[in-house]
Chain A
């Protein structure tokens, strides 16, 4: 032991300051973490503090000078029926999307771990919706759901299921369904990859033991596979919820919150009020309503990850 320790010591030359730093884990760790900390502080922390400051001010897009305005912005927000509609829509979109993302993500994960020819190509194609920039993929959906030229409508007409047009984005119920569908479409691949990691990690002998004991597909699914992958399913659900909850691109590109604000969400309404309407204080106040739920989601994610580590 003594010999080994001696062997790993640096040569007995005069130590330089640089070498001492390289040998000290504490300062080195801080140094390596510094870029990430600076990044988070500059791009998350500072804007967050600014948003809090703006929410209690009278700042507008044309007048950035800061004057304390107390709760004026919040009073205007609470008096605005569109805000309550946006809050309701945000929760509905998030809840429904989260359930569908998990269900379809699990199904897709089961398919992707199966052995079949061309599996890698399928995995690549399935991941495309997640890797494509949101705005770009949503523009594609905008055309797919167009009121006049929708290929979906054309297909339905060709098979005799439709006369005329569906007006996907012109009717509140269909517009709502369209927004949820696009969220599910783009986030299912992420959920599938997360759940797939859990499925692959399940020891093969557990599944084989269940088969020997006579457990069928559904019983193995609900009593073996899902319980063992639950932490990862929770992570997938929470990521889906966060990405849906905070996203404004899908709504803004597809419907701009319409028809008659029926698809407006907090993020898009904050942008419309704060930037397009010019009332930065009110926009900031609306955006801050995202924070409590995001905080709760972050806590849940971290707890789920810890449970996973314990396993």
Chain B
């Protein structure tokens, strides 16, 4: 379905060169505002694809979504939705709000029974299942067009107990390790840590010799929730099993907590207890952290604000633990169509149109967004191997092409169900690690206390018939 640009790259460059001849002197004196705004990158920008809706559309469509961490994405998205609306005769409005306010806004609108027709968030929204439409038809249509949806996205939008697609998950974002080569080189790990043991040894040595800590958050925020799960999974622990039974209180979880205590004592400071979702980005951009678990957004920011640090920042996949190497997705796009939506047909058609243009979404998010269907962004691998947004070296993001091998969903090895959603919305897991790291309780006690909280949440949702297990 992808349409090809009318002009070749050579044409664009030639025209750009001629048109810009009179401004050459001024242009030479200016730097592009971002790596993506140079001529080469603009020439590679994908063209929008348009598929005629299956039914005639009219009326209006209102969309609620987050303000993307990469601002160029929102500029593209707003224009993209406006053009689609004009093509199909629908008046589209898009409201971007701060990511932290999205769940509360969705909850308020669902309670009021009115508001936006289409809602998006960056984590699974299973807890809203009773108030949203089943999007099985949209997912099925996308599968028909593009093949089988990635399991990580399917498990983050489908409830196997009720058989309902409470959300549509067209994309996700990997969560690799970001490290500073100049700091890890002196401790003999030029290519960064590859295992949790190397992270502990190398990070502690950097802390001792260079006075720079690493940053695995243990605060009451979303990134700490992700990091804690990555550590647990790599140690063979999890909150639930594949049948949605709580299995948190295990020797593997205790081992993961004990490891975190050692990591905190050797390589971190009390700073990690005070973080919000942006803190590890800020610390990395400022050059104050040797390693963080994050998407590439911090790196993209430093490319613009501190190129020296950006060039010194490299990436590693999920760290290998005693059991495996797994990381949570950094972002999991969940699109909801609430029961109160006044134009659900337009909402579903828009989702399919958006899915057909995920290549543009990936490009304009500067390779932050990844698609839920392999092959839907045919240029992704090439872009990762030769970053059009100015990475030095140009292939530093190439490893992300295999990120589905080491990324998994919230709720692993089970689905991202309502109980996992509530646990994820609360600081239970970060506090489990933090209480032990601070010496407030033993690792065994921290795990036992967290399990008591998790048990109560799972029992509540199981009684409502929204999750399985318990047999």
Contacts and interface: CB of A to CB of B under 8 A. Distances in A.
B427 A257 contact: yes
Nearest to A253: B276
Q: How large is the interface on A (under 10, 10 to 19, 20 to 34, 35 or more residues)?
A: 35 or more
B422 A279 contact: yes
Interface stretch (B247-255, B279-287, B359-367): B279-287
A61 B111 contact: yes
Contact of B440 (A65, A165, A169, A260): A260
Interface stretch (A13-21, A200-208, A270-278): A270-278
Given A62-B129, A277-B426, A278-B421, A261 B431 contact: yes
B270 interface: yes
B276 A148 contact: no
Nearest to B130: A63
A58 B130 CA distance: 13
Given A64-B110, A147-B271, A170-B272, A79 B456 contact: yes
Contacts of A80: 453
Contact of B434 (A81, A147, A260, A272): A260
A68 interface: no
Interface string A70-88: 0000001001110000000
B103 interface: yes
Nearest to B453: A80
B353 interface: no
B273 A170 contact: yes
B128 A61 contact: yes
B107 interface: yes
Contacts of A278: 107, 127-128, 418, 421-422, 425
B111 A64 contact: yes
A257 B422 CA distance: 17
A277 B426 CA distance: 6
Contacts of B460: 76, 279
B270 A170 contact: yes
In this complex, the member of B131, B270, B453 whose beta carbon has the largest number of chain A beta carbons within 10 angstroms is: B270
Interface string B418-452: 10011001110001001100101000000001000
Interface majority SS (helix, strand, loop, mixed), chain A: loop
Contacts of A165: 269, 271
A289 interface: no
B34 interface: no
A258 interface: yes
Interface string B266-298: 000111111110010011001010000000000
Given A273-B426, A276-B104, A278-B107, A260 B435 contact: yes
A3 to B, nearest CB: 63
Contacts of B418: 62, 278
B431 A260 contact: yes
A294 to B, nearest CB: 23
Interface string B380-407: 0000000000000000000000000000
B130 A257 contact: no
B431 A167 contact: no
Interface string B330-343: 00000000000000
A159 B322 CA distance: 48
B107 A259 contact: no
Contacts of B269: 147, 165, 167, 170
B220 interface: yes
Contact of A175 (B113, B271, B274): B274
In this complex, the member of A58, A147, A261 whose beta carbon has the largest number of chain B beta carbons within 10 angstroms is: A147
A148 B282 contact: yes
Interface string B126-139: 01111110000000
Interface string B446-471: 00010001001000100010000000
A157 interface: no
Nearest to A276: B425
A60 interface: yes
Contacts of B431: 258, 260-261
A176 interface: no
B320 interface: no
Contact of B274 (A63, A259, A280): A259
Nearest to B276: A256
A291 interface: no
In this complex, the member of A76, A277, A280 whose beta carbon has the largest number of chain B beta carbons within 10 angstroms is: A277
Contact of A60 (B104, B106, B127, B273): B127
Nearest to A171: B270
A16 B272 CA distance: 74
B422 A277 contact: yes
A257 B434 CA distance: 13
Contact of A256 (B104, B218, B220): B220
A255 interface: yes
Interface string B153-185: 000000000000000000000000000000000
Interface string A28-44: 00000000000000000
Interface string B115-132: 000000000010111111
Nearest to A72: B460
A141 B217 CA distance: 21
A137 to B, nearest CB: 17
B111 A169 contact: no
Interface string B212-227: 0000001111000000
Contacts of A170: 269-274
A243 interface: no
A45 B141 CA distance: 48
B275 to A, nearest CB: 8
A260 B449 CA distance: 12
B103 A275 contact: yes
Interface string A157-200: 00000000101111100010000000000000000000000000
A275 B107 contact: yes
Given A63-B464, A148-B288, A272-B427, 10 more contacts: A61-B128, A64-B110, A64-B111, A147-B274, A147-B275, A147-B279, A165-B269, A258-B431, A260-B434, A276-B104
Q: Which 10 residue pairs of A and B lie closest in terms of their CB atoms, listed nearest first?
A: A259-B273, A62-B128, A170-B270, A169-B274, A170-B274, A61-B107, A63-B130, A147-B271, A167-B270, A278-B127
Interface of B: 103-104, 106-107, 110-111, 113, 125, 127-132, 218-221, 269-276, 279, 282-283, 286, 288, 418, 421-422, 425-427, 431, 434-435, 438, 440, 449, 453, 456, 460, 464
17 contacts: A62-B125, A65-B130, A147-B269, A148-B283, A148-B286, A148-B288, A149-B286, A170-B269, A170-B271, A171-B273, A255-B220, A256-B220, A260-B435, A276-B104, A277-B426, A278-B422, A279-B460
